[in-house]
Amino acid sequence: MGGKGYTIERTLSFPKEIVWEAWTDRDSFATWFGTDELKMKDVKLDVKIGGTWKGTMVLPDGSEKVWSGVYRELRKPDKLVMDLTDEQPPIEFETYTLTLKGQGKTTQMTLSQTGGHLSDEEYERAKAGTQSFMDSMEAKVLPVLKARHDAM
């Protein structure tokens, strides 16, 4: 244990308000946190400092993994810090730190996972999983949210 964590940086072709919504809207979060292969159900987001979030990931073999955490910092639409764990009962938490920098119609998204509860090898696997989550967000969630905003 005691790995260093990881950071993912992406430039997205969507305004940061839409990226923020993908992180804080229950249905949007349930779509990308798991991808097409790992469905999420029973997602609950209480998006406020100290608020909790929870969701159940259905794995390909039909087994389930419960994810949960607490929102630690919220600066809409620039920064979100949330704890996460898949341990039941929750004992050790990792931390996602999301920063969004708007550049007109694009957003520079930086996401870090830290906590030191995983080995470097486990962080590499977590990073690959998170990158697939971000692929799903970019391909499936952000275009839908943008279309909804454009229609308003």
Question: What are the residue ranges spanned by the domains of the chain?
Answer: 6-151
Tens of pLDDT, residues 28-79 = 999 999 777 888 999 999 999 999 999 999 999 999 999 999 999 999 999 9
φ/ψ bin of 62: left (φ > 0), alpha (ψ from -120 to 50), beta (otherwise): left
Confidence at 2, pLDDT banded by 50, 70, 90: low
Tens of pLDDT, residues 83-99 = 999 988 778 899 999 99
CATH number of this structure's domain 6-151: 3.30.530.20
What's the gap between Cα 136 and its chain centre?
Answer: 11
Which uninterrupted H or E stretch holds 97? strand 94-103
Across the chain, mean pLDDT equals: 93
3-class DSSP assignment, residue 57: strand
Antiparallel, parallel or unpaired: β 52-58 and 39-45: antiparallel
Whole-model pTM above 0.85? yes
The DSSP 8-state label assigned to residue 49 in this structure reads T
